[in-house]
Amino acid sequence: MTITQRLLFTFSLLSAALVAMVVVSVSVSQGFQTRFKYVNENTVPSITGISKMIEGSNAVIIALYHHQSVTDLARQAVIEKEVNDTIKHIRALNQHYLAEDTSNEQDRQMTEKAFTMINKIERDLPAFLAASRAQNDAVSLGMLQGTTGIGAEARQLIANYQQQLQLNTNLANALSRENDRTYHHTLLTLITGSAAAILLLGFFTVKTILAIRQPAECHAPDDGAGQRKPRSHSQSR
């Protein structure tokens, strides 16, 4: 291989190593950006929305107990409006979540299940309110604390939302772990590739330098004692 070919090969190897590093870096950056965008645009809003729905469901249960314990009909009427408004708000949040924030098919199915539970709460609400207004504690407390009735349905709704919250949290954690694995794998690959490129470039650079020096030494004049001596200024003319 001539000196020119060696120089060309060394330059080509350097260029290929740089291009490979750029391609890997861009590819990894795009993967990080995609996962970050998914978490930022989907998982975070999902967790926020579910948290609001859990908060609203808890508020419904608290308001129902408050209604059951109050004897003033005017005060009960105010609480009833609060309950109805809260349920409507939960339904609206659930609808928005279904349209915009579901993470996967399982999340979508759980959101649709929540609609069924909300419908049951709205269906049983009039009977509870009637018993509570009549101060029929046996019936109203039974509906709140029993395994069936509006209280059980509200608790089931909360449990469903908590499962959804855990699902989305697990998805976010999985993406975070994938980012960590990708980062460490890419870092190791880049370090290994850089070291290999440096060693190869160093090897061919040394070979090229030696190849350049050898012809120069071969053409240096002999001083008569078997030793090469550098050319004088007059000889070089």
- Give a yes or no: residue 201 inside a domain: no
* Whether 31 contacts 182, CB under 8 Å: yes
Residue carrying the six token digits 């207004």: 133
- Give a yes or no: residue 100 inside a domain: yes
- Give a yes or no: residue 94 inside a domain: yes
> How many structural domains compose the chain?
1
Cα–Cα distance between 155 and 152 in angstroms, integer?
5
Residue carrying the six token digits 């490129």: 197
Quick one: average pLDDT of 40-54?
A: 82
Give me the CATH number covering residue 107: 1.20.120
- Give a yes or no: residue 157 inside a domain: yes
Phi/psi of residue 222, each to 5°? -85, 140
- The domain of 135 spans 3-195
- Give a yes or no: residue 15 inside a domain: yes
Measured on CA atoms in the order 17, 20, 22, 25, is the torsion positive or negative?
A: negative
Q: What is the pLDDT of residues 132-179, one digit of tens each?
A: 999 999 999 999 998 889 999 999 999 999 999 999 888 888 877 777
Query: pTM of this prediction?
Result: 0.68
- Give a yes or no: residue 231 inside a domain: no
- Give a yes or no: residue 188 inside a domain: yes
Residue carrying the six token digits 């059951």: 68
